[in-house]
């Protein structure tokens, strides 16, 4: 394997890692999951006075569970449909193509 081929394969691996790292689904899913757990725990520890204010509906618990479900959905979506960075050939073809109007 030549040095050029080795360098290209290393750049492709780095590009794939960067694409997965900055996938917006990871950020959204992670934040909603963390906040969902925090709000759900607050719902589990709600006092009777807190429940009276909300007409006996545990808003924190239901909101936390909803946020947790949404966060897990985004993380599962990211796992099932990972980001595939473009290949070198696709990038070269895109550079040669005329600009769209």
pLDDT tens, position by position, 69-91? 999 999 999 889 877 766 667 76
Query: How high is the pLDDT of residue 73?
Result: 96
pLDDT tens per residue across span 21-57: 678 888 999 999 999 999 999 999 988 888 888 888 8
HEC string for the chain: CCHHHHHHHHHHHHHHHHHHHCCHHHHHHHHHHHHHHHHHHHHHCCCHHHHHHCCCCCHHHHHHHHHHHHHHHHHHHHHHCCCCCCCHHHHHHHHHCCCCC
């Amino acid at each position: 394997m030549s040095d050029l081929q080795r360098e290209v394969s290393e750049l492709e691996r780095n590009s794939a890692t960067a694409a997965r790292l900055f996938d917006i689904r990871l950020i959204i899913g992670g934040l909603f999951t963390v906040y969902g757990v925090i709000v759900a725990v607050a719902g589990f520890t709600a006092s009777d006075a807190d429940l009276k204010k909300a007409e006996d509906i545990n808003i924190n618990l239901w909101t936390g569970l909803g946020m947790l479900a949404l966060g897990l959905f985004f993380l599962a979506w990211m796992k099932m449909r990972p980001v595939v960075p473009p290949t070198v050939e696709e990038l070269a073809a895109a550079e040669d193509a005329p600009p769209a109007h």
